[in-house]
Structure 1
Amino acid sequence: MPKADAAFIDVLRAKLGEVAIVTGRDADDQTIDAYGKPTAIDSVIVRPADVNEVSFTVKACADAGIAIVSQGGNTGLSKGTYLPEQQPSIILSLARLNQIESVDPERWTITAQAGVTIQAVQEAAAKVGRLFAPDWGARGSASVGGAVATDAGGNNVVRYGNMRDNVMGIEAVLADGSIWDGRRSLRKDSSGYDLKHLFIGSEGTLGVVTSAVLKLVPATPHATSTMAAITGLNALMPLLALAQKHGAGTLTAFELIPDVAMARVDELLGRGKPIDAGTEFSVLVKLASSEPVDDMIASFLSAGVEAGHIVDAIVAGTPDQEA
């Protein structure tokens, strides 16, 4: 795959500084994805420090015909950060845009730059007694920009929705280098097109997200999870209905987990299967609320067994098991 020529990189280096340019083996090492393999060889990574430097970089690339592939936390599983085969390109890393710009518990919002990790957002929200609800295993590496660009989901979608449902406004750099600031925190805004939704899930094709206003929700200090071995896929939807009924508005996660996936995790990590009832599938169910939910979990499991959908189950009894 062709890379941007040295003269062009020197232009970026002169404007952004030496720290913003990564090449050679160092660049390749920074493209290692969730599969443990680099997504590019002999690449050039440009690491702007703020939105104005992103703007300069994008405009320079547009003028020179250089393709851009944005890089977040390298946690995606769809190989969406591979470079084009035929066009000179750079990788645009947002890692240095790593500031939480504001936390507003009264407006229930947090504004974070694209390179901030999901875990950092969650921790900042927790400090003011709030919750940033989107959550998945790669929270410590996955970035706000990548999550917005891919409309990431995670474990809590059944209650809180995808990223799209948790973003109130964004700032983005368009293909010509212009900056669009749509960071509004209004809960009700009927003033025309909701342009942010064009960028959310667009995979960077319409612009580079540099900052986002994120929605916070009430904290749920009481959470209990159960993993239940089920009789088959036909039991899935009836169990979802039971979880919604017995959870009474507290159902936060409902995830189908094939036994083959648990076996693979056990093989790689040696942690053992949480449940081994000889069935092909299990469901992970999480209830969370401001009040204890243990009785609701017990009621759900009892109803599932009585209906003939659940073979066996285990309830998380410690914080480690819950995690």
Structure 2
Amino acid sequence: MGLNPADERLAARLPQGVLREAAPAYLEEPRGRYRGQAGLVAAPRDTEEAAAVIRACAEAGVAVVPRGGGTGLVGGQVMPEGPVPLLLSLERMRAIRAVHPEEGVIVAEAGATLQQVREAAAAVGRQFPLALASQGTAQIGGVLSTNAGGVNVLRYGNARAMCLGVEAVLPQGQVMHDLKRLRKDNTGYDIRDLLIGAEGTLGIITAASLVLAPVPPEVGVAMLVVESPEAALTLLSLAQARMAGGVTAFELISGQGLRFLDVAFPALRQPFADRPDWLVLIEVGLPAGLFADAALEGLFSEAAEEGLVRDGVIAQSGQQAAELWAIRETIPDANRHIGAIASHDISLPLSEIARFIRDASAMLAGMADLRINCFGHLGDGNLHFNLFPVEGKTRDAYDRVRRDLSRAVHEMVVARGGSFSAEHGVGRLKAADLAEWGDPARLGAMRAIKDALDPAGIMNPGVILNDYAKTTL
């Protein structure tokens, strides 16, 4: 490995076999918005080696960019500008350290994939309920560092709600041993919760104690045609009342998304010959003796009587349920095939969602000729509000208005008490938005925490708090 003098000095401080050259894949992110830079990748084999890497970087004043599975969508895993950083990958720390099914806890290293953890849970008759389309690649460290959401937040919460304790390396190389398996621990500041969602700016999570949940004996899936987003929200309230906490997922799907599937994946089976304007996909998990299919049939009948739904399909087998879920899970792939002008990961109070969809669509129609694919996790208020060219135009035709379109969407979201970053994080992509719209007192507290834990500013500079990319190192 040919190293420049600075890299050689850093390498001399580290255990043998930790460093490697940065292959092109380490410098990419899924949407192609940023191209990273790095001379070397550090891939420690255990926590002590990870701590040695951070200590060496702190002493040498070298920025550290942590990289998990590389599935993040806001540019947090690449550093395109500034002094060349060291990439830190925990891909070799993949162990499931312990499983405690009687406690409902699994202890996993940060490089373990979400799928690996879910399979380990299933092997003892439990589930780790965080569910993402990228579960085969996304790593536990990245999932926690971005406080990932997914389709089951309605019932189980974000990643933070599924984590009891963490082991982490802090910015000067200290190892925090806090892999507790406790539900109650009121012993001061919760550093675990600071690290979760910090996107690697306050330290590196190396392992975590995660919550396992029982597998519901009765699971049912239905896809229902609703008259409008307002009707979908009323249906959600009705479903929650009738299922007594058993609603696991409640997804909104637009007709535009269905038409994109027709173009990108024509072989994908869809249950309705026409393409309704709005669908919901609902999954329920109920105790033994409460038949999920019957519960969904009762919900459909009551909702139809109230004029909320006009058609529907209830899965009669696991295969049919998987086919219904495939429609929802393939929409992001269809979006990539069509090519978005701008994508927005937003959340709103539930009572604001229907008005936002209507008002934002009307506002954008006055700014440009667009197609809007609005879909997402309606149950927890998280929408993906994505803008696409009309047929016959390319994305390039919208270069002059792209930023104005996104700004208009985000301004409307913030004005209605919502968030411009619901589940993907801030990263580099939305750091300027946070600087503009974040509460000043909260931002000041965040900067004070960053200064206290990372005084040299080496941890993922430019992520979340973008001014640190300019004032440190």
What is the TM-score normalised by the length of structure 1?
0.90
Give identity over the alignment, percent: 36
Residue among 140, 146, 149 paired with 1:150: 146
Distance of aligned partners of 1:245 and 1:65 in 2 relative to their CA distance in 1, 3 Å threshold: same
- The aligned amino acid for 2:4 is A
**Cα RMSD, aligned residues only:** 2.1
- The aligned amino acid for 1:202 is A
How many angstroms apart in 1 are the aligned matches of 2:40 and 2:310? 53
Alignment of 1:124-139 (within 5 A): 124-139=120-135
Asked if structure 2 preserves the Cα contact closer than 8 Å seen for 1:28 and 1:43, the reply is no
Equivalent in the alignment of 2:283: 286
How many angstroms apart in 2 are the aligned matches of 1:266 and 1:231? 21
Alignment of 1:261-280 (within 5 A): 261-270=257-266, 271-275=268-272, 277-280=274-277
Offset of 1:11 from its aligned partner?
A: 4.5
**Structure 2 residue 174 is the aligned partner of structure 1 residue 178:** yes
How many angstroms apart in 1 are the aligned matches of 2:320 and 2:31? 25
Distance of aligned partners of 1:277 and 1:80 in 2 relative to their CA distance in 1, 3 Å threshold: farther
Return 5+ residue gaps in structure 1 as ranges. Answer: none
Distance of aligned partners of 1:68 and 1:35 in 2 relative to their CA distance in 1, 3 Å threshold: same
- The aligned amino acid for 2:276 is T
Offset of 1:148 from its aligned partner?
A: 0.4
Q: How many residues align?
A: 316
How many angstroms apart in 1 are the aligned matches of 2:148 and 2:287? 26
More helix by share: 2
More strand by share: 1
Offset of 1:205 from its aligned partner?
A: 1.0
CA deviation vs aligned residue, 1:147-175 (integer Å, no higher than 9, x gap)? 10011111111101101110000011111
Equivalent in the alignment of 1:57: 53
Moved more, 191-200 or 210-219: 191-200
How many angstroms apart in 2 are the aligned matches of 1:275 and 1:58? 55
CA deviation vs aligned residue, 1:77-107 (integer Å, no higher than 9, x gap)? 2222220412221221111110000001122
How many angstroms apart in 2 are the aligned matches of 1:313 and 1:11? 65
Equivalent in the alignment of 1:7: 5
**Structure 2 residue 202 is the aligned partner of structure 1 residue 206:** yes
Offset of 1:274 from its aligned partner?
A: 4.3
Offset of 1:186 from its aligned partner?
A: 1.1
CA deviation vs aligned residue, 1:266-321 (integer Å, no higher than 9, x gap)? 43333143445443222111001343311111111122222212132222233233
Alignment of 1:90-105 (within 5 A): 90-105=86-101
How many angstroms apart in 2 are the aligned matches of 1:320 and 1:9? 53
CA deviation vs aligned residue, 1:13-45 (integer Å, no higher than 9, x gap)? 45343464133xxx1124443337874256532
Offset of 1:138 from its aligned partner?
A: 1.2
Q: Provide the secondary structure at the position in 1 that maps to 2:55.
A: helix
Distance of aligned partners of 1:266 and 1:278 in 2 relative to their CA distance in 1, 3 Å threshold: closer
Equivalent in the alignment of 1:312: 311
Q: Provide the secondary structure at the position in 2 that maps to 1:284.
A: strand
Alignment of 1:108-119 (within 5 A): 108-119=104-115
Q: Provide the secondary structure at the position in 1 that maps to 2:284.
A: strand
Residue among 207, 222, 225 paired with 1:226: 222
Distance of aligned partners of 1:41 and 1:197 in 2 relative to their CA distance in 1, 3 Å threshold: closer
